[in-house]
Structure 1
Amino acid sequence: MALISLEDLEGLDDENLDNDISDNPEPMAGDDQLLSHWQAVASTHQVSVPQEMTGPIHEMTRNSQQREPLPFAPVSRHEKMGEVLYEERVYPAGFWACVTRGETLYEQSISMAFMKLMRFICKENSAGRYLGMTVPVVSHIHMMEDRKMFEKDVQTAFYLPAQFQTSPPRPSDPDISIVHREPIRVIARTFFGTTTEETVSRQINLLWEILGMVDELCTDSYMVAVYENPGVPHRRNEIWFIRRNL
């Protein structure tokens, strides 16, 4: 899931891309155009998209309207003058497919991790089939001791679709772990655009300003939830603060 600025994405939104591909009767030409699109997006953050990603990219694009939302139980919603400042939610226990990367840039880590998850979703698994996609994809970041900088290792994960929760398929890639997570209670605030270390840090500081200091919230780790792919210029994300106890 390579990430770029709004300016970088001009002219590369999914609707225009899909229209271009549908006008071309050659399937491989469409595949090549999709790959080129992802490569152009990824290059802005020094991430390369190899040729073998063509199949997963095509499969994910073809099934982009069939995404299963991650279930949650709402706890509360806080608004001011019609604007939702934040929501509190509880997400259930369940199995997640997780990849941890520690690249130079935060956005490189989540991009490279998501490419691995894409291949797992698109048939590189013991079920030998397309598993289906859930949203959001969630990255778990840990702060350094100064609570200002991110640690290099970032875990990126997606919740397995409901039909695979009782019997999770095994990944072919040893870098992917299937992890059972306990329920988690979070305070979530929506933001739009890119998710770089700079923009995520800004959102963390903003939510702390809104909340004030809350002892029950973790200050050494946060989660970033991404709902849309890199071709959406004004894509939706959330910053999640984690409650220490349910």
Structure 2
Amino acid sequence: MHYLVILSACVAVASSLVVQPYAAPAFCHRQQCPKFTVSQNFSGYELRHYEKSLWVATNLTTMEFTDQDDSAMFYKLFHYISGNNTRDMKIEMTTPVILKVEHGPGPTCESFFYKHFMVPFEFQNNPPTPTDPDVYITELPPFDVYVKIYGGRPSFNDKMMMIETLVEEIGSPSAFEERFYYFAGYDGPYTIRNRHNEVWLVAKHSPTDSKPVMLYLAILSVCVAVASSLAVQPSAAPAFCHGLECPNFTVAHSYSGYELRHYEKSVWVATNLTTMEFSDQDNSAMFFKLFHYISGNNTSHMKIEMTAPVLLKVEHGPGPTCESFFYQHFMVPFEFQNNPPAPTDPDVYITELPPFDVYVKSFGGRPTFDDKMMMIENLVEEIGSPSAFEERFYYFAGYDGPYTIHNRHNEVWLVAKH
């Protein structure tokens, strides 16, 4: 008996010193998953730490990510594990399939999409090389992510809604990377029960020893302040322009809920449509006419830098059976304001907006056309006096691409009368 007691104690101590094999969670469905530990649980989400891992990946740069794009990227990776590699070998499927979305800075910017399959553990140190030039091996370093879990068969819009919900639940934008995020899927298309999906936001962390860094930042901030006081300051675009060129304006007056701005003269590329009922398809078609112009559909065959905002002017018809007029605009970059390349599409043209004053109401979110109409009507009520602004037309201004998830900025404009 004494022997057994001593032996069991020794086994217990030895077990505590042995590294336990990683047990994948049930939602991995007995497939290999990247190794992680849960650092902290919150209400509605958790913080995980992932170990370093190798993945096979492919990427796409586009304005509008479709189900067809998603499928094409998936099958590039599936063909890799099916034998499209230098060893002509079939590789076990792993989980999850992750999609990294790195959003463009503004409404006319392309975004970047990266689809990944994890390389099985047995090949982590020496994975077969892909034979498709669009497929490559990449390493994800150790990282921490905020993870929100949910079920069902989410559409892309559902996933966007979930990532925005996670942003709201975390609360502090300084806690995570805003430039990109991940969608993770653990189930095939024919799984009917206990489906498992996740959205990930990569956590930001302070250095372990922050004192040297803080001292460096303090010195740097003093140097920047001194240099700034000596330098001639250029006209700085507001933060909601996301580093893109915006039309120059000054705020003439701030009111409760809106402001009055003065805009300088500016040159824009535009297209227009006359219709009884303006649809999302109409809006998209107009947008892409202008996007093709800046992508090279111009007499100089040049790619032109993107600007913000995308501006839609709505000139309403006089009655219920009358057509209305819609004008979509991109601002021409400052370097081409005096001599912009001419469009090659006959439906696209260069136009000048003279100096003008506008009442502006700003708001966030992902507004529908009806939401924008509600905002312009709210602005009308807030201004109060119909003699203060032009009633025949108004503007909607958008500053973000479709994949921006935080601090989205939208505006409605009413041109002031003077």
Match of 1:183 among 345, 352, 355: 355
Match of 1:70 among 244, 247, 254: 247
Which amino acid is 1:30 matched to? L
Please name the residue that 1:136 is paired with: 309
Higher-Rg structure is 2
Structure 2 residue 287 is matched with structure 1 residue 110? no
| Contact 1:126–1:170, Cα closer than 8 Å, also in 2 | yes
Q: What is the SS of the residue equivalent to 2:341?
A: coil
Match of 1:167 among 316, 333, 339: 339
RMSD in angstroms over aligned alpha carbons? 3.2
Please name the residue that 2:111 is paired with: 61
Q: What is the SS of the residue equivalent to 1:116?
A: helix
| Contact 1:24–1:30, Cα closer than 8 Å, also in 2 | no
Which amino acid is 1:155 matched to? Y
Deviation per CA, 1:134-179, whole angstroms, max 9, x where unpaired?
1111100012335x99954310001100000011111111110101
Q: TM-score, normalised by structure 1?
A: 0.69
Say how many residue pairs are matched.
Answer: 198
Distance 1:177 1:58, change over 3 A: closer
Within a 5 Å distance, the mapping from 1:6-17 to structure 2 comes to none
Structure 2 residue 387 is matched with structure 1 residue 215? yes
Q: 2: distance between equivalents of 1:226 and 1:58?
A: 10
70-79 vs 31-40, which deviates more?
Answer: 31-40
Tell me the CA shift for residue 101 of structure 1. Answer: 2.2
Q: Percent identity?
A: 24
Distance 1:88 1:180, change over 3 A: same
Can you give the 5+ residue segments of structure 1 that lack an aligned partner in the other structure? 1-22, 41-56, 80-84
Distance 1:58 1:188, change over 3 A: closer
| Contact 1:87–1:187, Cα closer than 8 Å, also in 2 | yes
Please name the residue that 2:60 is paired with: 30
Q: 1: distance between equivalents of 2:305 and 2:336?
A: 10
Q: 2: distance between equivalents of 1:140 and 1:133?
A: 19
Distance 1:129 1:37, change over 3 A: farther
Tell me the CA shift for residue 72 of structure 1. Answer: 0.9
Which amino acid is 2:328 matched to? T
136-145 vs 156-165, which deviates more?
Answer: 136-145
| Contact 2:311–2:328, Cα closer than 8 Å, also in 1 | yes
Q: 1: distance between equivalents of 2:242 and 2:343?
A: 24
Tell me the CA shift for residue 33 of structure 1. Answer: 10
Q: What is the SS of the residue equivalent to 1:76?
A: strand
Q: What is the SS of the residue equivalent to 2:389?
A: coil
- Tell me: higher relative CO, structure 1 or 2? Use CA pairs within 8 A at least 6 residues apart: 1
Q: 1: distance between equivalents of 2:255 and 2:56?
A: 48
127-136 vs 154-163, which deviates more?
Answer: 127-136
Can you give the 5+ residue segments of structure 2 that lack an aligned partner in the other structure? 1-54, 71-106, 113-240
Q: 2: distance between equivalents of 1:60 and 1:86?
A: 30
Match of 1:156 among 311, 314, 328: 328
Tell me the CA shift for residue 220 of structure 1. Answer: 1.7
| Contact 1:109–1:154, Cα closer than 8 Å, also in 2 | no
| Contact 1:141–1:150, Cα closer than 8 Å, also in 2 | no
Distance 1:88 1:58, change over 3 A: closer
Distance 1:65 1:219, change over 3 A: closer
Which amino acid is 1:93 matched to? K
Q: 1: distance between equivalents of 2:294 and 2:328?
A: 14
Structure 2 residue 270 is matched with structure 1 residue 98? yes
Please name the residue that 2:294 is paired with: 121
Q: TM-score, normalised by structure 2?
A: 0.42
Q: 2: distance between equivalents of 1:232 and 1:109?
A: 22
| Contact 2:316–2:324, Cα closer than 8 Å, also in 1 | no
Please name the residue that 2:176 is paired with: none
Q: 1: distance between equivalents of 2:258 and 2:383?
A: 9
Q: 2: distance between equivalents of 1:92 and 1:38?
A: 43
Deviation per CA, 1:185-214, whole angstroms, max 9, x where unpaired?
100001223343311221122112212124
